[in-house]
Amino acid sequence: MSATAKAHGMDGSLVEPDWPPLTLDELRPILARFPDLGEPTQFLSASPRPFSAAGVVATRSGRVFIKRHHRAVRDREGLLEEHRFLSHLLTHGASVPRIFASVTGETAIESGDWTYEVHEIPPGIDLYEDAISWTPFLTAAHAHSAGAALARLHLAAQNFTAPPRQPRPLVASFTIFAAVDPSAAMECYLAARPPLCAKESVHASAEQALEFLAPFHAELAPHLPVLKPLWTHNDLHASNLFWSDAAPNAHATAIIDFGLADRTNAVHDIAHAIERNIVEWLALVNDPAHPDGVSIHLDQLDAFLDGYESIRPLTREESDALAPMTALCHAEFALSEADYFLGVLHSEEKAAMAYDGWLVGHARWFSSAPGHKLLDALRRRAGRKDLLRVARSEKKAAQP
């Protein structure tokens, strides 16, 4: 018996998955290394995420979530980068799933071409199980709770001092626009990833994106020195949260899926959450000639940031950095996806969607009317905070 499911396609449709589904026969020798979990008995659900094969499996002792990666995507050491971060978060009180260790203490199990990991099922329900990135929350209350959850994660991530991840496919790093010279940093990024570096069309798209994004880098640059390095999630979409229930005011109970995590900074992570949840990019995928047709959800934007700042208020510099970072944060993950499509799947068609449709298309969109509207809303919010700080300072100075 195998897990059967469609996968999320690049245009939001359901398609045949790139990776073969998990099977119970395949999982028996893997779970034999975890004797406390028991033998797998049934697939309960299969994940529609496209970059691996995964699903919820019933075992003799309960339910677990098992994910299988091709070793070209995540070998043992690649997974351990994520697992060390998760271990730190758990130790510091974050609500994230535990990764089970085998009888020999291993959390990343290599077998043939594959690497496996076995997760506990966190408390709550997978309310957004079928939701894809770039679709909004169901309610503003959900957005508020997601923001608070991300802030708690950032507090728990403090003092985790692991270095940035090694160059790997499907990681949302922040190096190109963290540099004084993004053009030189872009060349370094591509040179470290041979499938990208070898392709002239990737270089051409990178140059286009740098041109579109140059004004935002100029806006961000003065704030870069004060953005403290932090290991971050980099993919906080509603579907990467578990929820208390299905009510409109449900609250987030856990954050899952740390595959894109890396050492960036808090503003970068917040910007990714905005990019994932507030902007309906799929409209641009399906109609690239009409960027004004991309919807944004400013009510959810304010709710998300209100929730975040109820736990961890942004500094003035972080508030001022958020608008340009929102325009810039997508770039490296778009290139990382192109690296995956070229180097692992060997699909030029899918790669072109990443380096042209997403890298260049999203960069161009921030000069459109809805792009300006989103960034101006973030700038106004930062401005209101500046006025409030001035008023508080003046009030304090006037006190005897």
- The answer to whether the CB of 96 falls within 8 A of the CB of 255 is yes
Q: Is residue 8 a part of any domain in this protein?
A: no
CATH value at residue 104? 3.30.200.20
pTM above 0.75, yes or no: yes
Q: What is the pLDDT of residues 208-259, one digit of tens each?
A: 999 999 999 999 999 999 999 999 999 999 999 999 999 999 999 999 999 9
Q: If you search the block for the tokens 């589904």, which residue do you land on?
A: 21
Same domain as 304, residue 206: yes
Residue 388 predicted with pLDDT over 70:
no
The C-alpha atoms of residue 385 and residue 313 are separated, in whole angstroms, by: 10
For residue 50, give its domain range. Answer: 24-119
Phi, psi of 105, rounded to the nearest 5 degrees: 90, 10
Q: Which residues of 72-89 are buried (b: 16+ CB within 10 A; e: fewer)?
A: ebbbeebbbbbbebbbbb
Same domain as 91, residue 220: no
Per-residue pLDDT, 53: 95
Per-residue pLDDT, 32: 96
Per-residue pLDDT, 16: 85
Per-residue pLDDT, 276: 94
User: pLDDT-derived band of residue 98, with 50, 70 and 90 as boundaries?
Assistant: very high
Per-residue pLDDT, 393: 53
Per-residue pLDDT, 11: 67
User: pLDDT-derived band of residue 285, with 50, 70 and 90 as boundaries?
Assistant: confident
Q: What is the pLDDT of residues 135-156, one digit of tens each?
A: 899 999 999 999 999 999 999 9
Residue 5 predicted with pLDDT over 80:
no
- The answer to whether the CB of 365 falls within 8 A of the CB of 290 is no
Q: Is residue 9 a part of any domain in this protein?
A: no
Q: Into how many domains does the chain fold?
A: 2
Q: How far is the CA of 310 from the CAs of 96, 139, 156, 252, 393, in angstroms?
A: 20, 18, 16, 15, 21
Same domain as 367, residue 255: yes
User: pLDDT-derived band of residue 385, with 50, 70 and 90 as boundaries?
Assistant: confident
Same domain as 102, residue 183: no
- The answer to whether the CB of 374 falls within 8 A of the CB of 322 is no
Same domain as 76, residue 184: no
- The answer to whether the CB of 121 falls within 8 A of the CB of 64 is yes
Same domain as 172, residue 28: no
Report which of 289, 297, 365 is spatially closest to residue 327, judged by C-alpha positions.
365
Handedness of CA 75, 341, 187, 229 (dihedral sign): negative
Quote the Cα angle for 362-367-372, to 5°: 105
In the chain, alpha helices (H) = 24-31, 76-91, 140-157, 182-191, 194-197, 200-220, 266-277, 282-286, 298-311, 316-328, 330-343, 348-352, 361-365, 369-398
Q: Is residue 273 a part of any domain in this protein?
A: yes
